[in-house]
Amino acid sequence: MGAERVVVVGAGHASAQLCASLRQHGWSGEILLLGDEPSLPYQRPPLSKGLLAGEAALADLLIRKPEFYEKQQVAFRHGRVAGIDRASGAALLEDGEVVGYDRLVLCTGARPRSLPVPGGDLPAVHVLRGAADAEAIRARLADVERAVVVGAGYVGLEAAASLRKLGVAVTVLEAADRVLQRVATPGISAFYDRVHREEGVDLRVGVGVAAIEGDRAVRGVRLADGARITADLVVVGIGVVPNVELAREAGLAVDDGIVVDAAGRTDDPRIFAAGDCASAHDARYGRRLRLECVSSAVDQAKRVAAAICGKDDTSPALPWFWSDQYDVKLQIVGLRDGHDETVVRGDPDDGRGFACFSLADGRLVAADCVNRPQEFVFAKRAIAEGIAPDRAALADPATPLASLLRAPAPSAG
């Protein structure tokens, strides 16, 4: 009998970490990485920043260099998987090839939501998820004076910041009542609203898009109220949809993502999932989560690799995120589930540095840190340890953060 084979479908952050962790846990069999993009796994967060702005090339964004895959004997193949035959243990490629597996890991990620309006498929209407998307936008910029960004989530605001730095006039349109409404506190939303306006962005919230106007070129965006905005380029960032079709068609459980246990197993013990496509029960938060962030993808990949090698690790990881816009780095740690109090350290209305701490029953559960790396490091430790810091001291920038780590957690009951 030949060596066992792990086949990894998708080539993103989870895949890159999985390959490394499998070897670290002693997997000696084959590893085959199947990616539907021609590149080895690369970092996606810089696409809306360094790559779009022309400050980095795709080669600079590779998570690991080609030499790593050669040394670790990881085979990479550019190809799209069309189906899974669970009975025979095989991945069926679009070109007709049949690839057998002993373990299959679905790291299929997510795809951007399209804008379902007339003109939404014009050539100058772009999403921003892969390297090809960033490069396509970049290729048009020489002829772009005015851009409209639809969606004021992280991707939309990061794209707006990059375009403004390149001298493009930018209008951001958001259907919700505030920017970052789904992912950030009202205080963080208000801060980024101010920052983008200070940088010259025409920011409009509570507005709907009725159509993109143009023929082969974009001429403008018509709003639901009839107003029209002139534009040469439209970037759409209105969220993503997990790529679960392969799993669903193979008969695996799907519920806002591929359903997996704490170790990353699907209901087929030979098939696992990790990254943006995976929905796992989290013991820390007591519910099923599908997190769209690098830290979660990496943590899930580590657990999957351990499980494949017979070393289950089901300890919950603490999620954290980041966003870079202009000269501002936002770092978020934890989820605000059940929070009942917010403490602000610094002044969000003046300057570009402060932190918002979310507490539940006195314990720190999440933090949003703007240009405050020390507060971010403090929060990661305090949340993990169940610290209940003194509120007044937490709000006082003069109070050393280290002193707050000695605060005892409240007793149960």
Residue 101 lies in a domain: yes
Spatial separation of the C-alpha atoms in residues 75 and 383, rounded to whole Å: 39
In a domain, 245, yes or no: yes
Q: Are 13 and 43 in contact (CB under 8 A)?
A: yes
**Residue 85 falls within a domain, yes or no?**
yes
Does a structural domain hold residue 71?
yes
Q: What angle do CA 315, 262, 307 make, to 5 degrees?
A: 85
Identify whether residues 107 and 245 lie together within a single domain. yes
Alpha carbons 345 and 167: distance in angstroms, whole number = 33
Domain co-membership, 86 together with 169? no
What type of residue sits at position 126?
A: H
**Do 170 and 267 belong to one domain?**
no
Domain boundary among 216, 238, 260: 238
Q: Do 120 and 197 share a domain, yes or no? A: yes
Residue with tokens 């090809």: 132
Structure tokens at 101: 């597996």
Residue 139: which residues within 8 A CB-CB, separation 6 or more? none
CB-count exposure of residue 95 (10 Å: 0-12, 13-18, 19+):
exposed
Q: Which of 238, 254, 280 is the last residue of a domain?
A: 238
Q: Could you tell me the CATH number of the domain that includes residue 55?
A: 3.50.50.60
Do 48 and 71 belong together in one domain?
Answer: yes
pLDDT at residue 378, as a whole number? 97
| The model's pTM | 0.93
Residue 315 in domain: no
Position 412 scores a pLDDT of 45
Q: In whole angstroms, what is the distance from residue 36 CA to residue 19 CA?
A: 17
Cβ neighbours of residue 300 under 8 Å, at least 6 residues apart?
A: 14, 264, 274, 275, 278, 280
151 and 90 in one domain? no
- CA-nearest of 179, 188, 186 to 353 is 188
Q: What is the pLDDT of residue 413?
A: 42
Structure tokens at 405: 């780590």
Query: Are residue 198 and residue 125 in the same domain, yes or no?
Result: yes
- Supply the pLDDT for residue 2: 54
Which residues span the domain enclosing 174? 114-238
Query: Which of the listed residues 279, 308, 337 is the one where a domain comes to its end?
Result: 308
**Strand 228-230 versus strand 30-35 pairing type:** unpaired
Tell me the C-alpha distance between 345 and 350, whole Å.
Answer: 12
pLDDT for the residue 50:
84
DSSP string for residues in 161-221: HHHHHTT-EEEEEESSSSTTTTTS-HHHHHHHHHHHHHTT-EEEES--EEEEEESSSEEEE
Helical residues (DSSP H) of 80-147, grouped into ranges? 131-140
Does 411 reside within a domain?
no
Distance, in Å, from the CA atom of 71 to the CA atom of 167, rounded to the nearest integer, reads 44
Residue 122 and residue 216 in one domain: yes
Task: Judge whether 317 lies within some domain.
Answer: no
Q: What was the pLDDT predicted at 88?
A: 97
Could you give the number of structural domains in the chain?
3
CB contact set of 375 (below 8 Å; sequence gap of 6+): 345, 355, 367, 369, 401
Same domain for 199 and 290, yes or no, is no
Average confidence (pLDDT) per 10 residues, the chain, 413 residues: 85 98 97 96 90 88 97 97 97 96 98 95 94 94 96 96 96 97 91 97 98 93 97 96 98 97 96 97 88 94 96 86 95 92 94 95 96 97 94 96 74 45
pLDDT reported for residue 9: 98
| Co-location of 126 and 58 in the same domain | no
Residue 56 resides in a domain: yes
Residue 48 has φ and ψ, to the nearest 5°, of -85, 0
CATH number of domain containing 343: 3.30.390.30
Same domain, 232 and 251: no
Angle at 28 between CA 25 and CA 31, to 5 degrees: 95
CA proximity to 123, closest of 109, 137, 112: 137
> What is the rounded distance in angstroms from the CA atom of residue 304 to the CA atom of residue 301?
5
Residues 270, 206 share a domain = no
